[in-house]
Amino acid sequence: MKTLSGKQFCKILESHGWKAARITGSHHIYTREDSNFRITVPVHANKDLKAGLQRALMKAAGIREDEL
């Protein structure tokens, strides 16, 4: 799996219809109108997300690996 930085993952979320609800420190919180679910993405400089966290965020957001 291709690992992404937090900034890159945020851009992918936005392209899939997620909106940034707020930013608390280095954590960007995304929501979607059709869901009460929220996704929190840690944006620490340009560091890549760890593989397990990225996989969990992708599953929660409904993003497939080929869409990266």
Range of the domain at 10: 6-67
Confirm whether 1 is domain-assigned. Answer: no
Say if 40 falls within a structural domain. yes
Domain annotation covers residue 43? yes
How many domains in the chain?
Answer: 1
CATH number for the domain including 12? 3.30.920.30
Share of the chain above pLDDT 70, in %: 100
pLDDT of residue 35: 86
Dist CA 61 CA 4 (whole Å): 15
Structure tokens of 57?
Answer: 């965020």
Phi then psi dihedrals of residue 3, to 5 deg? -85, 145
Q: What is the pLDDT of residue 1?
A: 87
Is 51 part of any domain? yes
Give the residue-averaged pLDDT of 19-39.
95
Per residue in 30-61, pLDDT (tens digit) is: 999 988 999 999 999 999 999 999 999 999 99
Detail the DSSP E strand segments found in 1-68.
19-24, 27-32, 35-42
